[in-house]
Amino acid sequence: MAKLTIRPVETKKDRKIFIDLPFRLYADDPNWVPPLKSEALGLITPEKNGWFSHAKAQLFLAEEDGRVVGRISAHIDTLALTMPPEQGFGPGVGQWGLMEAERQDIFHALLARAEDWLREQGMTRALGPISMSIWEEPGLLIDGYDHPPTIMMGHAKREYRGWIEWAQYRPVKQLMTYEVDVTKQFPPIVQRIIKSGEKNARITVRNVDKTKFEEEAAIILSILNDAWRDNWGFVPLTPPEIKDVGVKLKPIVFNDLIRIAELDGKPVAFMITLPDLNEAIKPLNGSLLPFGWAKLLWWLRKPKVRTVRVPLMGVVKELQASRMASQLAFMMIEYIRRASVEHYDAKRAEIGWILDDNQGMRSIAETIESRVNKVYQVYERTL
């Protein structure tokens, strides 16, 4: 039997090998979306990912006779260490992610090495998979394998769930996405709520202005940090991360798909919707060469998509649990629904992820007759 070895990623060549592995493991999976390799490399390269300004990570590769058969990351977010323990992180909590393996024994050997590294750093509990920031791809897909993920969402092999649970990890949080047919009108009760809001002179729901990108981003970030600050897993975004996210998302920001709601002239809520970039990049198989860059640029001029995704939505804390919060949410959802159909030919929207205990957002999703289409699970174990 070939000898299995686990070694740290140390060079640029190692990082490329790390990125290449899923392309082989998922080659026969029609629902896996190959990421652009340049973006995937940026995620794990400290000089290119602002998250590393407050975090550190060690990547590992599993090899048998020189052949790569698995990978994993172990990482520590210093901001997460300062968060309240009841919100999921806190002192002594490290994470692992980016896990891929050919077999269960390889999976467990990698997991053991990641845990050892976390112990060496003084960690006492492990959360995973989180790849690598909570704002990127948290959780393991446990339901919804039968269709591709949308932009910024993960995919995984079915057997990984059993392999993680065999290693005595227990579920700690579920993250769900909901899908809804945007070609259909929302139920009458939702339409009445929207019309009532439109008659309220205190309420304004406006498009963002991409020509004022930094100003608009600052408004959204202020609302986000206020709205999400008590949520499980919340870690505030830092200026280096915001800069990186802006660079990545600006090409797929369209004024009519992102709305800011104002009450008496003050921004109090927002909703971000993105055309599903995965539909455009899936055929590129990870590369912009030789002609992928031209195809992508053409698509970005005026994207036509089947799906749009709502990755973020928030209402300031003082309005949460109020009728006004629901009204503002329904208004933004409806206006973006119309725009996504009229201007982007969308047929469906995916909302989320949404925490399993976020009853307010789950209620809104269910009221517009959306249904859960994917479930992701985060696990924990004492080290």
Q: Confidence band (pLDDT; 50, 70, 90) for 355?
A: very high
Q: What is the mean pLDDT of residues 226-244?
A: 91
Instruction: At 8, give phi and psi (nearest 5°).
Output: -75, 150
Give the closest residue to 272 by CA, choosing from 358, 210, 323.
210
Q: What is the pLDDT of residue 74?
A: 98
- Specify which residues 376 forms β-bridges with: 141, 175
How far the first Cα of the chain sits from its last, in Å, is 30
pLDDT recorded at residue 288: 79
Across residues 10-28, what is the average pLDDT?
97
State the pLDDT confidence band at 306, using cuts at 50, 70 and 90: very high
- Give 103's Cβ-side CA count (13 Å radius): 9
pLDDT tens-digit series, residues 51-82: 999 999 999 999 999 899 999 999 999 999 99
Residues in Cβ contact with 128 at an 8 Å cutoff, skipping those fewer than 6 apart: 95, 96, 97, 99, 114, 164, 169, 378, 379, 380
* pLDDT mean across residues, the chain: 95
Would you say residue 1 has pLDDT above 70?
no
CA dihedral (283, 288, 290, 296) positive or negative: positive
- What is the per-residue pLDDT for 331? 97
Coil, strand or helix: which one is 369?
coil
Residue 242: per-residue pLDDT: 85
Rounded CA separation 114/135 (Å): 21
pLDDT tens for each residue of 136-156: 999 999 999 999 999 999 999
> Which residue's structure tokens are 């927002």?
270
The Cα diameter of the chain in Å comes to: 74
Average pLDDT over residues 5-24: 97
